Chains A and B, each alone.
Chain A
Amino acid sequence: MENKEFIFKMNGLSMAYGDRTILSNINLVVRPGEFWFLLGPNGVGKTTLLKALLGMHQPQQGHLQLHPKFAQGNFVGFVPQRCDLNPTLPTTVKEFVLLGLAGIRTSKGAELERLRWALEKMKLEEMIDKNYWSLSGGQRQRALVARALIRRPKLLIVDEPTKDLDLTAANALMESLTDLNRKENLTILFVTHDLTLAAHYATHIALFLDGHVEAGLCHTILNQENLERAYGVPVSIWQEPSGALNVRINGTGGLR
């Protein structure tokens, strides 16, 4: 495992806004094919870490190293929480997804081939000529992922994509992402508050605790002590007969 090539490394990385340090001494190695979940309460620095990866915010200390092989071209695909597009504007799924190719020069044939691939991966082939605004919430979210995928990234960053989705739509999206991770060996960084999703789908977890990050394999990080420290509430965690982990924040009346 240690010798496996990395996608990116963070060595002693600290992030700050002015004098206010948000994250300090972050050490993280992400390798190809890993499915990382970034967990933690609001305001602990998850978005700040994403900004560092997207080159939108420079570290205060330490450094972020991208593997030269992956740093070339379109290294990162980003799926934002929301889409800024004006909802009165006419656009089809095809046009919306092709917008993801901004800044990439390819032939018309290669463009269409990428489009078909991205739509197929997100199970939206049938929707290609539909109005984007006529899609359901879950389909729109998958179109957002397809727009990031069309760039053929090595690392896909997904920011709380299941936040406003019902259970069925959220599951469909998670299955598509898991397929991408397993079949295409795509590395995924998934930001969420949903501990149950993390327990089911993550191979690795980065848990944000008081400006630090505990990172590693899902089973080692996702334990009662860490989660209670991170969220400040009692947490139950147990293993299903299938071997999958399950998590409950006690006192909330259900799974989160």
Chain B
Amino acid sequence: MIQNFLSSWGLFYQTYLAGWLIILLLSLIGVLVVGRDQIFIGAAISQASTLGVALAMGATALFPEDQFPWIHSTIFLSAMAVIFSVIAASITGQGGASGKESHEAITGWVFLISASLSILIVSHSPHGLEEIHRLLSSSIIGATAVDVWVFGILTIFTALLLTIFYRKILLFSLDTSMAVAIGMRIKIWNVITSAWLGLAVGLSIRASGMLYTFGCLVLPALVAKNLCREVRHMFLVAPVVGLLVGITGFVLANGYDYPPGQMTVTLFCLLLVLVWIFRRLGYKSGL
């Protein structure tokens, strides 16, 4: 099986590398999402990103390519995915204060409006509908060298930011009251983290689809949460576990001819169940 995988390397190495870099990137950011217990936000942002792509596809039907070539470019599609992710991340970051709507309600609204509109917008465009279905079902086949570079740079940049501003990011993400009290500018931090999350999710959606993006965002961090004693360890365990599962998933998918995205997410889910059982048994035996 491994031999088969290695022989497919020449043809699919960009897909594999992009897929693994997406796991590394999203698992780092996912620790903060899981840390805030706002897992559904990941789904809502991913769905909003799909709406951005649907709108871009819808625009291609309205604006002829000879007059508006940029609207028909892949950069425009990616930009719309990122813009809508950032908007969704900003909106879902609101609420929760007394007198305002809850986080869950706002997040649910973002998810539902994005899910329904993205289909409505492209429902009369066979090509658009196919693209949206591809994004929703997740296919990471077809990643390019540009994707590899973009996710590589984004992952390194994310790791650097987390290393340099580790405590500030953690305090802002996990205990906002204290962050305010020590003078952190919460509004600026909100803008930065929303843009960061939106950029990572938006670009991942374009390259790998919703299921894979959402799965990589929350599942490695959830596994790490159950294995670690401290949050700082989660930032190491989540990407390492994510990468191991990603490699296994791609090898198995290649060997048995299954879609790699779905295979990887399924493995993450199975691992999470194992970790839950392990933790439960450990808890019962007093470990």
Contacts and interface: CB of A to CB of B under 8 A. Distances in A.
Contacts of A147: 178
A242 interface: no
B183 interface: yes
A90 B179 CA distance: 19
Interface stretch (A37-45, A81-89, A165-173, A176-184): A81-89
A131 B36 CA distance: 18
Contact of A78 (B174, B178, B231, B234): B178
A68 interface: no
A151 interface: yes
A89 B229 contact: no
A92 interface: yes
A147 to B, nearest CB: 7
Given A82-B177, A103-B168, A89 B232 contact: no
Contact of A89 (B171, B182, B225): B225
Interface string A69-102: 0000010101010111110111110110011111
Interface string B164-183: 00011011001111111111
Interface in B211-269: 225, 228-232, 234
A99 B168 CA distance: 8
B225 A101 contact: no
A84 B174 contact: yes
A84 to B, nearest CB: 5
B35 to A, nearest CB: 6
Contacts of B174: 84-86, 89, 99
Interface string A45-56: 000000000111
B272 interface: no
A82 B177 CA distance: 9
A55 B180 CA distance: 9
Interface residues of B, number: 25
Most chain B Cβ neighbours within 10 Å, of A80, A88, A99:
A99
A233 B182 CA distance: 37
Interface in B104-152: none
B170 A99 contact: yes
B159 interface: no
A86 B35 CA distance: 7
A201 B182 CA distance: 26
Most chain B Cβ neighbours within 10 Å, of A54, A83, A91, A100:
A91
The majority secondary structure among interface residues of chain B is helix
Interface in A81-138: 82-86, 88-92, 94-95, 98-103, 131
A99 B230 contact: no
Contacts of A80: 177-178, 181
B175 A151 contact: no
B66 interface: no
A84 B231 contact: no
A90 B226 CA distance: 8
B177 A84 contact: yes
Contacts of B183: 54-55, 103
Contacts of B232: 95
Contact of B175 (A55, A56, A84): A84
A38 to B, nearest CB: 16
Interface string B20-35: 0000000000000001
B182 A103 contact: yes
A56 B186 CA distance: 11
A83 B230 CA distance: 17
Contact of A90 (B171, B178, B180, B225): B225
Contact of B231 (A76, A82, A91, A100): A91
Most chain A Cβ neighbours within 10 Å, of B170, B175, B179, B228:
B175
B91 to A, nearest CB: 20
Contacts of A74: 182
A144 B180 CA distance: 15
A190 to B, nearest CB: 16
6 contacts: A54-B183, A76-B181, A80-B178, A89-B174, A91-B230, A101-B167
Return the 5 tightest CB-CB contacts between A and B, nearest first. A78-B181, A102-B167, A102-B171, A86-B37, A84-B175
Given A78-B178, A102-B167, 4 more contacts: A56-B180, A89-B231, A90-B229, A103-B184
